[in-house]
Amino acid sequence: MNTLFNYYFVQVSILMALFYLLYWSLLRRETFFKWNRAYLLVTPLLAFGIPLLPIPQVFTQAVQQTTIYDTYVQVVAPPVDAQIAQTQVVEKSDFPFSWMAFLWGAYFTGMSFFIFRFLRSLFFILKLIKQFGIKRINGQKVVETHLEDLPIFSFGNLIFWNAYTSIDQDKKAQVMQHEITHVRQHHTLDVIYFELLGIVLWFNPICIFYKRSIKNVHEYLADNALISKGVDKKEYCDLLVSQLLDANQA
């Protein structure tokens, strides 16, 4: 298990950083939002999978040659005092054990914190459903909340609509269609996926950038779907600005 910290997690983190750097440099400003979404979803899996691939034979032979050389050196090396050798073994075995125990303790402590935070968010959503109930509006399941500071959002196949939102019917329909796109394209699954990734690799700041990027891609996809249906782009941009200002004031 020590190799997880010594090698595997380090390799995964480096690969994720390289994949994200490629996204940030080449793909971030592209309008192929579906491909960007796929890239952000697949590259973490590649980062976890690539280190598990079998090492090419040329590297295996090099390792074997090194092992043979080390064995030869140990055989021909002059004998040392048994007590000194025993002391060296004890010193070498005690330190790594305590160090790895500390690392594993810190890792599981951090993981427990992020698991708690994730579950707390899920329980909050369940609380909203229980408190306000689910109704259907034009075939869409909606939870109409009555909390002033709560933004409009979607989770799973539900849209959480703030009853205190003061916009006209046309803009309300646009916002609703925006959230319906999130529902139909299953964006919640992406969010949960990256939340779980952030739990496993909570120490890796690249996970934060992945989360932000996938949420931005979700918004681009929802906006693009709405504009493609004939919504006036200028009016819709004004609506987004007003929604952003309302969220900041809240």
Instruction: Evaluate whether 135 touches 142 at the Cβ level (below 8 Å).
Output: yes
Given this model, what pLDDT does residue 250 score? 45
Q: What is the DSSP letter of 31?
A: S
R_g of the chain computed on alpha carbons = 26
Question: Residues in the chain with pLDDT < 50?
Answer: 58-59, 63, 69, 73, 90, 95, 247-250
Q: What are phi and psi of 202, to 5 degrees?
A: -65, -25
Between CA 69 and CA 72 the distance in angstroms is 5
Q: What counts of helices (H) and strands (E) characterise the chain?
A: 9, 4
Given this model, what pLDDT does residue 234 score? 67
Domain hosting 72: range is 2-249
Between CA 96 and CA 142 the distance in angstroms is 55
Between CA 15 and CA 17 the distance in angstroms is 5
Given this model, what pLDDT does residue 121 score? 97
Whole-model pTM: value is: 0.79
Given this model, what pLDDT does residue 239 score? 66
- Residue 236: name the closest of 219, 218, 213, 217 by CA: 219
Given this model, what pLDDT does residue 173 score? 87
Given this model, what pLDDT does residue 99 score? 77
Can you read off the two tokens belonging to residue 189? Answer: 């699954």
Q: What is the DSSP letter of 100?
A: H
Given this model, what pLDDT does residue 249 score? 47
Instruction: Evaluate whether 125 touches 159 at the Cβ level (below 8 Å).
Output: no
| Block residue for tokens 């993981």 | 111
Between CA 221 and CA 227 the distance in angstroms is 10
Can you read off the two tokens belonging to residue 131? Answer: 């408190």
Can you read off the two tokens belonging to residue 114? Answer: 């992020």
- Residue 152: name the closest of 239, 78, 87, 48 by CA: 239
Can you read off the two tokens belonging to residue 205? Answer: 């700041």
Between CA 120 and CA 152 the distance in angstroms is 19
Instruction: Show Cβ contacts of residue 2 under 8 Å, excluding neighbours closer than 6 positions.
Output: 96, 100
Count of domains for the chain: 1
Can you read off the two tokens belonging to residue 68? Answer: 């043979």
